[in-house]
Structures are given as structure tokens and as C-alpha cells.
Amino acid sequence: MVKKWTFILTLSILLSNTTTVLAQAEPEEIKMEGDKFQDFFYESLFQKSIENYDKSLAALDQCLKLKPNDATIYFEMGKNYLASKDYKNAYSSFEHATQIDSNNKWFWVGLYDVCYETKDFNQAIIIVDKIIPFDAEYKEDLVSLYMVTKQYDKALAGINELNEKVGKTERREMYKMEILSEGKFQNSEVDNLKNLIDKNPKEESNYIALIFLYSNNNEEGKVMEVAKKLEKVIPESVWAQVSLFKNYLENNDGVSAVKSMNIVLASPKVDSKIKHRIFNEFLLFSNANPQFTADLDNAIGYFKNDATVNVAKEIGKFYHNKKQWDKAIKYYEMSERSNSEVDLETNLLWLQANTELKQFEPVLKKAIVMIDTYPAEPQFYYYAGMANNQLKFFKKAKDILEMGFDYVVENKDLEINFNIQLGEAYSGLGDVAKKELYFNKANQLLKGKK
């Protein structure tokens, strides 16, 4: 929103334009007239302070009779009209004040206040242009007014001028992003950023902004050019490495990509979202280039204090979805070692991956341990029962499956699997009747899913 400026006028200033009297008047007449004027003026200020605007205006009318060309009286009338939302008379009063004295900033500010209240932003621009010679800070208001009226070319010029003279602000940067989302303004901004880089080559933010623009336009060659220039001028710049990393991957330069990635991941300046994006891109790269797996594993260490994402676990799930079970297990185990708390999902995924590889002894051992940790979680009973069946420990399979079946609630797939494994257990025990009973239950449940 447009910034509003507040102001205070002391009574002595207010009265500064009201002390001139006619040279020909007698001393007593001067005193009497001065007393009358001050009485009416004080009365107007008092009535305004208690929001009796009509009475305040009546007192100011009396002042006008005594001093009809006093700009301060019209200014005070404008403030009363504005406070009572009589915008037409407010504007007229402030305008009259400026016509009498065009060198008083606050008279123009009064007009600006009316324009702002009535949302007449085009007229406000004209007024603010009058205020700026008195107070350059109103250039901030002018930028906002250009944004409201969609005069983006003028707004962008104003933003760049203020950025260079007084430094950037969050609001102006937000405005600039909005403007540059329209492609037609990007060329002028590219030229502006190039000029700023030439003027001050050590200002990192200008390189970053230029990289951002080129990247949005998919001009990767220019991105690389600016990133290399930034790296040369400011060797310690981590942002140069953010851009270079992507280009190294695209050029299949894994060694350079690893170097850039490690610099970025180690930097406290870079947002965690950017770090995760870079890491994920390297994960895909290392999957296609296994010789860089060790570098991927080392990079996990940069996320050890990240409470938002369990990176090792997510890598395990990545390989899990690709049915690369050995790799999935490796990262699930890495996740488990680096976390003090037992994670239910990681252990279930680990059990599934090992089952796919028919590694039933470790499945049985893990499932038994997890039953002690999560005694009401039926899936651990299922894995323990299934592994016992595969190892031909049918009595143990039956007992543990029957124990865990009570915890299966509204999970038809798991209920089917329990019935199948119980059928397998009773088959191994030679109990044909119960084998058929459980297999039939599983079949009925399967038919109900179709």
C-alpha cells in the first residue's frame, strides 16, 4: 500500500502567516484585531481537537473575515473537512492554500491526503511530484502510486533509482518481481543490472538477480557466463556455485558438480529448499553414474541436523520405488543409525525390501524386535509369521500370527495376508481342515475386493 506520512504543526508555525497587520492601523486597533483573530483561531483548534468540526469551521470563517488571504486558515479548514469526510471542500481548501503559498510542503500533503482517501491515485501522482522537491522520501510513495496505476515502466525506473541511492527494501523487491513477471520489462532490467555490475562489480546481489532473469528465460549459456564472472570477481560467492552446479550436471561434469554441491550444502547462507533441490538433482545423476555414489553418501552428512526431512530415508524410498532393494536397504539402515528414535515406516520398508530379496532370517529377527517396540502394530506380526513359515517354523508362525490378528482393523489387504499365512502355517502342521478354512477366508476377501 501507499505509505502515508504524518506531520505535526506547532501553534507558532500555524500562526506564523497571521501576524502581519496594516501599517496604517492605530496601536489599539492592532491589538484588538490580533486578539480577535487569536481567539477565533484558538477556538477552531480546540473544537477540532474534540471533533466538533462544524464549530471549528465556523471559527475559521471568522478568521477569514479578518485575514482573507491567510493560507494557514485554508489549510486548517482543509483538515477539518478531511476529518469529516467532506472531500470536495477539503480538496478545495488545501488547493486554495497552495495557490496562496506554493512553497509550503504541508499544504501539498493535505491535497495528497484527500487524493489518497478518495483513491484518486492518478491525481495523487501529480501532487506527489509537487512534494518531492521538498521531501525526496516521497519518491517511495510515487513508486507505490505507479504500481497501483499499473505504470510499471515508471515504477521500475523509480525502484532502480531508489535501490541505487538508498538501498533495497523488501517492498520494492516485491514490486520488482511483480513487474518482471511480465516479459516486456525484462530487457530493460537486464541492461540495468549489467550497468550496476559495471559500476560496482563487488555487489553480489546484482549478479544473482541477473542469473535469475536469464534462468527464467532458459538462457542457460548466459547463466553460466554470469555465474563464472561472479565466481571470478567474488571467489567466495556460494551463489555462483548454485548456478554452476546445474550446468556441470548438464555437461556431465560430475567432479565439478560434486565440488559445487559441497560448497552449497555447507553454506549457512543458502535456504534449505535450494539445498534439497540440489541434492535431489545429484541423486538422479548418481543413480545414472554409480561412480559418484560415495559422494552422494558423504553429502547426506550435511543434512544430519535437518529436522524437516530424513534424507537417508528418502533416498531409500527413491530406490525402493525403482525396486533396487539392496540400495534401498543400505539407506534405510543408514537412516536408522543416524536417528536415535525408532521410525515405524522405515522399519516396515526395510522389512518389505528384505522380503523381496528372500532374506527371511533378518526379517524374522527385525520383526520380533519391532513387536516389542510396537506391540499393537499388526504388520510386524505378519512379517514375523511369514518369515517363520518360510523358515519352516510353522508352530511359531501360527502362534505369532494368531496373536497379531487381533490388531488388524479395517485393513482388508493385511487381513487377506494374515489368512494366507495362517493357511500356510496349518498346512505345514498337517492340519488340512484349518488350512482350507483360512485359504477360503482369504479367497472370499479377495472376491469382495473385486
Q: What is the pLDDT of residue 153?
A: 87
The whole-number pLDDT of residue 139 equals 96
Ordered by start, the domain boundaries in the chain are 1-118, 358-450
Q: Do domains 1-118 and 358-450 have the same CATH topology?
A: yes
Q: Could you give the 3-state DSSP secondary structure of residue 183?
A: helix
Q: How many CA atoms are closer than 13 Å to the CA of 137, on its beta-carbon side?
A: 7
CA 348 to chain centroid, in Å, comes to 35
User: For 318, which DSSP code?
Assistant: H
Query: Tell me: the pLDDT tens digits for 221-278?
Result: 888 888 889 988 988 889 889 889 988 998 999 999 999 999 999 999 888 888 999 9
Q: Which CATH number fits domain 358-450: 3.40.50.2300, 1.10.600.10, 1.25.40.10, 3.40.630.30?
A: 1.25.40.10
C-alpha of 220 from chain center: 25
Q: Distance between CA 137 and CA 4 in Å, rounded?
A: 11
Closest CA to 303 of 280, 286, 329, 319: 280
Give, in degrees to the nearest 5, the angle at Cα 353 between 350 and 354.
85
pLDDT of 330 reads 96
pLDDT tens by residue, 139-150: 999 999 999 999
Residue 19: per-residue pLDDT: 38
Question: CA 346 to CA 343: how far, in whole Å?
Answer: 6
Lowest mean pLDDT, pick from 19-23, 87-91, 265-269, 327-331: 19-23
pLDDT tens string 425-450: 999 999 999 999 999 999 999 887 76
pLDDT for position 34: 57
What CATH number labels 1-118?
A: 1.25.40.10
Q: What are phi and psi of 146, to 5 degrees?
A: -65, -35
Name the band, by pLDDT with cuts 50, 70 and 90, for residue 8.
very low
263-309 pLDDT, tens digit each = 999 999 888 888 999 999 999 999 999 999 999 999 999 998 887 88
What is the average per-residue pLDDT within 52-74?
A: 94
Q: What is the mean pLDDT of the chain?
A: 88
4-11 contacts at long range (C-beta below 8 A, 24 or more positions apart): 4/113, 4/116, 5/109, 5/135, 5/137, 5/138, 5/141, 7/106, 7/109, 9/106, 11/45
Under 8 Å between Cβ of 311 and 278: no
What local confidence, expressed as pLDDT, does residue 270 receive? Answer: 85
DSSP string, 380-447: HHHHHHHHHHHTT-HHHHHHHHHHHHTT--S-HHHHHHHHHHHHHHHHHTT-HHHHHHHHHHHHHHHH
Q: How far is CA 9 from CA 12, 75, 107, in A?
A: 8, 11, 11
